[in-house]
Amino acid sequence: MKKLALHWQIILGMVLGVAFALLMTYFSWGPKFIGDWIKPFGTIFINALKLIAVPLILGSLIKGISDLKDISQLSKMGARTIALYVGTTVIAVCLGLGVVNLVKPGNAISEETRTDLVESYGGVVNAAQEGARQQQEAGPLQALVDLVPENIIGAAGDNGNMLQVIFFAIFFGVCLILIPEKQGEVVKKFFDGFNDVILKMIDIIMITAPYGVFALLAALVVESPSADLFAALAMYALCVLLGMFLMICFYNLLVWVFTKRKPSFFMKGMSSVQLLAFSTSSSAATLPVTMDRVEKKLGVSEDVTSFVLPIGATINMDGTSLYQAVAAVFIAQAFGMDLSFGTQMGIVATATLASIGSAAVPGAGMVMLVIVLAQAGIPEAGLALIFAVDRPLDMCRTTVNVTGDATVSMLVAKSIGKLKDIDLLKKELRD
């Protein structure tokens, strides 16, 4: 018998978790049984995700930056590539924030359900709100001061200081490039292996995801058995999908304006890549096909694709960062938290930087979301609200990620005169 794919296992775990919890509510001892014997496994799963957040950031960012080999690669083509990737990521986050603030899916939750949630996670919510108040009382440059840690070990010991870890990882990676290659070779090999180990840890943790989802959903249902919570979850998923659709439209607009290629040409060339990305949920697994299609179907020269696309698979996670922005605000709305403009701008910065360190493998986006929530002072327990629909959305956001990579490669190629003329490309395709 063929083994079910992981995303189907997660969906099955979600359904069974809800069904089991509904069944247990008919027994007086049922909710207590779930709280004592089922919910802890969901907590362990969330803790496992939080456990590898800091190592993942360190490994992915240092490896990604050191793979540039030479600072000179950050010259003409490199600088444009990085600027475009960061720019599209910021736009994706802002787009996600715009959609979720306009639709307000978390506000669909009734006050009674919200009260139940706050009571269930009261200590976490109170601590988050106190942290948010302290942040609002700080001076205008406090965010800049907080960016540089006085002790990296201390910063790495608290997920709420993740921006400091990101700063250290970027600083370390750049300095690793600047020293002679022979001297840095051992360090680079260490972080290459370190990153591989962390990715394997993600694989193992994701194997337990169906059981974690079962436990999380079962606990959520018995603690707040309200239909409006699931209606709000559906609205949240629609917000993410709407944001991703708008981002795809934005990519087509960029390609049309700057390269004069029609959206139909771009989407036709990317269709096979998008389908593969959707099915694998991995930008890294899709990379060979992305490079082949972008070169042969979209007309980008090989030297551009070989430089721009691997970097994109490492640092360009537009779909992931958009989803993180929507998820963070939705969870805050669900807990009745009113996020200030400054806090939401902090989400823009954190989601952008966290997406750079997000591994191009299934499930890494959820780990990065822990970082965004912690930095914004939003209860990490709110992950229980959204994990049920994370896997299908993960498939969609990977499609956005690879489309963004292809878009940037076309823009870079056009800017340096290495995008083939469309008539020449059509002739080559006929031949």
Model confidence pLDDT, tens digit, residues 123-168:
544 554 455 455 445 555 665 677 788 898 888 887 656 667 778 8
Q: What are phi and psi of 339, to 5 degrees?
A: -80, 125
- Residue 360 near residue 311 (C-beta atoms within 8 A): no
Longest dimension (CA), the chain: 74
Classify the phi-psi angles of 135: left when phi > 0, otherwise alpha if psi is within -120 to 50, otherwise beta: alpha
CA distances from 260 to 267, 291, 326, 411 (A): 14, 21, 32, 11
Find the angle CA(388)-CA(391)-CA(395) to the nearest 5 degrees: 150
DSSP H or E run through 154: helix 152-156
* pLDDT score for 231: 79
Q: What is the mean pLDDT of the chain?
A: 78
Distance CA 81, CA 42 (A): 40
- Residue 198 near residue 55 (C-beta atoms within 8 A): yes
- Coil vs helix vs strand at 300: strand
Distance CA 179, CA 231 (A): 55
CA distances from 424 to 261, 267, 298, 430 (A): 14, 19, 11, 10
Q: What are phi and psi of 139, to 5 degrees?
A: -70, 170
Listed residue (143, 59, 95, 27) closest to 248, CA to CA: 95
Distance CA 276, CA 111 (A): 42
Listed residue (44, 38, 146, 134) closest to 340, CA to CA: 134
**Domain architecture of the chain: domains with CATH:** 6-430 (1.10.3860)
End-to-end alpha-carbon separation of the chain, Å? 44
Burial of 255 (0-12, 13-18, 19+ CB in 10 A): buried
Give the position of tokens 């962390």: 198
Residue 50 has pLDDT above 80, yes or no: no
* pLDDT score for 125: 46
Distance CA 420, CA 326 (A): 38
Which are the contacts of 280, defined by CB distance < 8 A and separation ≥ 6? 286, 362, 398
pLDDT tens sequence across 201-251: 877 887 887 888 788 778 877 765 566 777 788 888 899 999 999 999 999
pTM for this prediction:
0.67
| % of the chain at pLDDT higher than 70 | 77
Distance CA 127, CA 380 (A): 11
pLDDT tens sequence across 320-350: 889 888 888 888 888 778 877 777 888 888 7
DSSP state of 108: G
